[in-house]
Amino acid sequence: MRALTWHGTHDVRVDTVDDPEIVNPRDAIIKITSTAICGSDLHLYDGVIPGCKPGDILGHEFMGEVVETGPKSTLQKGQRVVVPFTISCGGCFHCKVEQFSACENSNPAEKQDMSAVLYGQPMAGLFGYSHLTGGYSGGQAEYVRVPFSDIGPIVVPDHLDDDKVLFLSDILPTGWMAAENADIQPDDTVAVWGCGPVGLFAIQSALAMGAAKVIAIDHFPHRLELARSLGAETINFRESHVLDALMEMSGGIGVDAVIDAVGMEAHGFAFDNMMEVAKQKIGIGADRAHVLRQAIMAVRFGGKVSIPGVYGGLTDKFPTGALMEKGIQIKSGQTHVQKYTKPLLEKIENGSFDTTFLISHRLPLEDAARGYKCFKEEQDSWTKVILKPGMAA
Ligand SMILES: NC(=O)c1ccc[n+]([C@@H]2O[C@H](COP(=O)([O-])OP(=O)(O)OC[C@H]3O[C@@H](n4cnc5c(N)ncnc54)[C@H](O)[C@@H]3O)[C@@H](O)[C@H]2O)c1
Ligand SMILES: [Zn+2]
Ligand SMILES: [Zn+2]
């Protein structure tokens, strides 16, 4: 089959690779109809997440048709499914309390050491996201093997086309969980850093949860425009002093809740960011925490911090003083996708959530390398790229 494979920093290629096969009784094989490139994939593309090996198949946002099932899969051939990016067994302690992205059984034992050293305990398995998270082949391919197919995939009705439901695999639940983690109360002013797909869905979710005001921060005009179209007020960080603007917009006490939908590759020429860009390049201290620092400074005393943006390693000059003295709450994590797919599918079906407004490009799988390059280098206009293995090149 054809698949998008990683070969090094800024080097991804569509290659011919072996077809996936059923390995375990609960597996299913899915023929991919749509698969998206995520901001998280850029961290692999940029080489700032450890553990990728040449030839690894990327991609964790995908859907398609069931073409083969193991004897213990509950799926049936021909069903149309969206697959969560988190691989979860459904039976361990964390899965039982719906913390699916912390599954103890999905990252094979021989792959657990790296994340156990970095995080204290091993990570769960994720599709197409390095050997840190299990080394699973991803879904930017014609076919993919889905382990625990009785737990993760959600069957979607035929009348909803791929564009409407694909994002149940990651960014829609991620935006929703980001807002849920901000514990939004009806009078809250919420600031969201990053108007990429995750930030945009976080804005949409925060407003749906009743936030009085959402302030979106980015520097790309079109992305800021998309945020305004959802009902957010905006700050362009290249034009305004973010902390001063947020103080003014929150009655002088700081915002009630902050959402970091940027993560470890912040843009901008702030001094701390410039230092960390340099450190990231030479591999000392992996994370650029500029946005997280700014968010912690911007939140009011007693406020709430939500971190959907991905960080991978360590960072310097973290504001521990502000963190402690302000009495704030922090919630974070890879999304517990399986917890949210059903309620969010209902919102898509009843028309209360549009998920298509941010799609900018649909490309054949053969064009995936160009998709990565443009999503990275022309972020303003390339807001979300969907790859279609079935589309003629
Ligand atoms: N927690 C999860 O499960 C999960 C799931 C999906 C994505 N993510 C993460 O969420 C983050 C966003 O994903 P995305 O797909 O929206 O990515 P993206 O790269 O498309 O968007 C990031 C946005 O952040 C903006 N930005 C950069 N520096 C900024 C700054 N200093 N201030 C304000 N905005 C700034 C960029 O201009 C860009 O628009 C990534 O870190 C990604 O890895 C996490
Ligand atoms: Zn993603
Ligand atoms: Zn589990």
| Residues 115-156: tens digit of each pLDDT | 999 999 999 999 999 999 999 999 999 999 999 999 999 999
DSSP bridge pairs for 6? 12, 56
- CB-ligand 1 contact for 200 (6 Å cutoff): no
Tell me if 40 CB under 6 Å of ligand 1: yes
Whose alpha carbon is nearest atom 21 of ligand 1?
Answer: 196
Which residue has the CA at smallest separation from atom 17 of ligand 1? 39
Residues with Cβ within 8 Å of residue 348, at least 6 apart in sequence: 160, 164, 165, 168, 355
Nearest-CA neighbor of 166 among 246, 98, 81, 106?
A: 81
DSSP letter at 170? T
pLDDT > 90: percent of the chain: 95
Mean pLDDT, rounded, for 87-111? 97
pLDDT (tens digit, 9 = 90+) per residue, 187-246? 999 999 999 999 999 999 999 999 999 999 999 999 999 999 999 999 999 999 999 999
Q: What is the pLDDT of residue 286?
A: 77
With beta carbons less than 8 A apart as the criterion, state whether 327 and 301 touch.
yes
Helix (H, G, I), strand (E, B), or coil: what is residue 195? coil
Query: Which helix (H) or strand (E) is 177 found in, with range?
Result: helix 171-180
The predicted model gives 278-282 an average pLDDT of 86
The whole-number average pLDDT for the span 356-375 is 98
pLDDT band at 285 (very low <50, low <70, confident <90, very high): low
Q: What span, in angstroms and rounded, lies between the C-alpha atoms of 220 and 237? A: 9
What is the pLDDT at residue 392? Answer: 87
Atom 43 in ligand 1: which residue has the minimum CA distance?
A: 40
Q: How far is the CA of 357 from the centre of ligand 1 (A)?
A: 17
Question: 50: pLDDT confidence band, cut at 50, 70 and 90?
Answer: confident
- pLDDT of 278 over the 70 cut: yes
Where along the chain do the CATH 3.40.50.720 domains lie? Answer: 172-332
The answer to whether the beta carbons of residues 180 and 172 sit under 8 Å apart is no
Neighbour-count burial of 97, counting CB atoms closer than 10 A to its CB (0-12 exposed, 13-18 middle, 19+ buried) = exposed
Query: What stretch(es) of the chain map to CATH 3.90.180.10?
Result: 2-170+336-388
How many Cβ atoms are within 10 Å of 90's Cβ, its own excluded? 16
How far is the C-alpha of 308 from the C-alpha of 175, rounded, in Å? 8
Whether residue 267 has its Cβ less than 6 Å from ligand 1: yes
| pLDDT of the residue at 27 | 98
Average pLDDT value for residue range 163-190 = 97
Q: Retrieve residue 11's tokens.
A: 């080097």
Range 31-68 burial, b when 16+ CB lie within 10 A, else e: bbbbbbbbbbbbbbbebbbbbbeeebbbbbbbbbebeb
| The predicted structure's pLDDT at residue 393 | 82
Q: How far is the CA of 145 from the centre of ligand 3 (A)?
A: 18
* Side-chain-facing half-sphere of 138: CA atoms under 13 Å: 33
* Cα–ligand 1 centroid distance for 287 (angstroms): 13
- The mean pLDDT of the chain is 96
Place of tokens 């949409």: 204
Cα–Cα dist 237/245, whole Å = 10
Q: Which CATH code, of 3.40.50.300, 3.90.550.10, 3.90.180.10, 3.30.70.100, is assigned to 2-170+336-388?
A: 3.90.180.10
Q: Which CATH superfamily is domain 172-332 in?
A: NAD(P)-binding Rossmann-like Domain (3.40.50.720)
CA distance 121 to 222: 40
Per-residue pLDDT tens digits for 306-330: 999 999 999 989 999 999 999 999 9
Q: How many CA atoms lie within 13 A of 108 on its CB side?
A: 10
Probe target for ligand 1 pocket from 43, 218, 223, with the most ligand atoms within 8 Å of CB: 218
Is residue 4's pLDDT more than 90?
Answer: yes
CA of 148 to the centre of ligand 1 (A): 29
